[in-house]
Amino acid sequence: MSRRIDLIPSQIKLVIALSYDLGALSIAFFLSYFLRLGGDMHVFTLAELSVFVLTAGFTLSCFYLLDVYSSIVRYFNAKASLKIAGILIGAACVCYLSSQVIDAFVPRSIPFSFLVLSTLLIAGARALVGITVGERLFEERDQVVIYGAGSTGRQLSTALNQSNKYHVLAIVDEKTRYKGRNLHGTKIYGLDQLEQLIKKYGQFKVLIAVSQVNPERMKEIVNAFEPYALELLTVPSMHDMVSGKHKIDELREVSVDELLGREPVEPIPELLSDNIKEKVVLVSGAGGSIGKELCRQIISQTPRRLILLDVSEAFLYEINQELNEYQQSHNTNIELVPTIGNVQNGMLMTRIIRTHQVQTIYHAAAYKHVPMVENNVIAGITNNVLGTYEIAQAAVFCEVETFVLISTDKAVRPTNVMGATKRMAELVLQGLAKRDHQTRFVMVRFGNVLGSSGSVVPLFKKQIRSGGPITVTHPDIIRYFMTIPEAAQLVIQAGAMGKGGDVFVLDMGKPVKIVDLAVKMTHMMGFTVKDQNNPAGDIAIQYSGLRPGEKLYEELLIDDHAQATDHQRILTANERSISWAEVMVLLNKITEAMKDDNIDEIRQLLIEAPLGFVPAEHSAHSLEPAAKVTDKAADKIESVDHVQTASTSEENTIQPVSSTPLLV
């Protein structure tokens, strides 16, 4: 109905409104006489008719001039009612005064009865239309409950009451002083009355209206609502609202970061800027999830120049555009150099690094999806191992100051080719670090990051929105998670700590059971899980089995020993390394097998290499029961929390550097 009204031209609406109001004024005026005199209407002459014309003309003119006709009837409210009532009071005064001037027969009761009747017919009719249309609109609006009766909740309630998208059913707050009271006509309930609200209204959305809340508190709030399978939305941050970037009613989904959230640790400014400020920085894999975030963090530290290197033109364009927009909004003028190139091309890497006189490299370019690398062994080794070798050799040849490798927890006792290639890339850099040159090599190892390409989080969201099922590889699989910004920030700080050949590990917090994550995400998006206990649920969870090379849990350390650093979430590990001569022997054997396209021989070489590589089909890790796996993961966390002094690594062997790239 409201849509049909919206389609009527405004001129026609004005004519309809004027006609109705004129008719309503006529009825009110003549009915007032009828009520006063009964059927004796012979006193009604030209003088009385003139009084009506003056009164009606005054009223309609005021309605037009004071924008009564420009207001939308379906949003008719108390303020509009007062405006109409004020004009009609003036009309009643005009009625009486004009009768005195014209000497018309207008008893004193007529203006009062005219005022009452005209108000009922004009303001009352508008209110009736508003209620009727509002009821129809109500069916189309999302029913919501606001969590938080503070200032943010009050602002949100006011904003939503004026919109046609949400209908506020109630406000929930855990503070007892608010319980049972009303806010803008909406009743406030306690958190313990949530089931009562669900029984009364059915499913609804929950809008979390709490600004400037720390991650631990947000996690508590989310966990309080999550079991009820209510869709959770939250208001923009106070900073975004004050800056005008977002309005209070621009709601967003509660992210998984907030479900798993932990209090971020303030970065050490000196470590963030040490390798970046006023320097030329290169990021390989700049278009990937980690690469993009590294670029965002780096540009905020004002480098002299930032080289964006990626093999994908589309991804490179995307991050370059984003950084240009950042510079415009922050009024900075850092030189950005988007460069299409493959790290496997050693000559190209040398030319890029030498041309731009690069001082710091963050090497994030890698094939990281376990099943893809498992089925493309040669491509995985070529990119992850030989690509790292080529860009590292180029860095040494061009005397780059710092080279930071982004590694992975899958490099620890790897059960898949991807993990083995990343551990081998570490060995290449550890071997190079022992030689006589100016470049400082640092490796930073961490687990899964939320929202990265290939992460379970975007996959689960897509599956939930499409109605399921959610696919989980194993009911007992667990993983460590960290947000992309935190991971990138810690990588930069760890890179500044290294002395050469260091392997740093990031404190990933406690591991998360993937099936629990799937259940919580389902509930947060407003759906229930379909299982034996709830066959009428919305989203089913299916177990697809462990993928090739996948294990139930990941580790960050090989020997369980780590040393504390200046940063509470960065630890340094003393991992086993081999000499550069041994590295070269191993690389040459693998490249020979790659020339022959002998996958079996390549796999066997990876198994025999000092990588700790045990394919998943031979690994006990992938078959351990859930309780044992969880206990082991907890033990790993304890070993990180109570660090021990590790034994010293083997003596460095000083050898001259060869700038000759490895031939593949």
Annotated catalytic residues are: 410
Torsion angle of C-alpha atoms 573, 577, 583, 589, degrees rounded to 10: -90
Report the distance separating Cα 402 and Cα 592, nearest Å: 31
Give one DSSP letter per residue of 170-205, joined into a string: EEE-S-TTTTT-EETTEEEE-GGGHHHHHHHH-S-E
DSSP conformational letter for 342: -
180-189 long-range contacts, CB within 8 A, separation 24+: 183/149, 183/153, 183/154, 183/157, 184/154, 184/157, 184/158, 186/146, 186/157, 188/149
Bridge partners, 572 (sequence order): 504, 563
The answer to whether the beta carbons of residues 627 and 552 sit under 8 Å apart is no
Report the distance separating Cα 205 and Cα 208, nearest Å: 10
Report the distance separating Cα 420 and Cα 126, nearest Å: 74
In sign, the C-alpha dihedral spanning 67, 69, 70, 73 is: positive
Report the distance separating Cα 35 and Cα 18, nearest Å: 25
Q: Which two tokens stand for residue 186?
A: 């909406």
Neighbours of 170 (CB within 10 A): 20
Cα separations in angstroms, 299 against 142, 264, 304, 376, 484: 41, 21, 9, 35, 16
Helix or strand or coil: residue 528? coil
Q: How do beta strands 502-506 and 440-446 pair?
A: parallel
The answer to whether the beta carbons of residues 418 and 367 sit under 8 Å apart is yes
Report the distance separating Cα 596 and Cα 96, nearest Å: 109
Report the distance separating Cα 288 and Cα 217, nearest Å: 31
φ, ψ at 241 (rounded to 5°) = -70, -45
Of 429, 370, 428, residue with least CA distance to 404: 429
Q: Which amino acid is at 599?
A: I
Report the distance separating Cα 499 and Cα 477, nearest Å: 36
Q: How do beta strands 570-573 and 563-564 pair?
A: antiparallel
The answer to whether the beta carbons of residues 16 and 69 sit under 8 Å apart is no
Report the distance separating Cα 477 and Cα 265, nearest Å: 28
Residue for token pair 């009506």: 52
DSSP conformational letter for 546: P
Torsion angle of C-alpha atoms 170, 174, 175, 180, degrees rounded to 10: 40
φ, ψ at 172 (rounded to 5°) = -115, 135
Residue for token pair 């097998």: 593
DSSP conformational letter for 566: S
Helix (H) or strand (E) holding 505: strand 502-506
Report the distance separating Cα 527 and Cα 393, nearest Å: 52
Angle at 592 between CA 588 and CA 596, to 5 degrees: 165
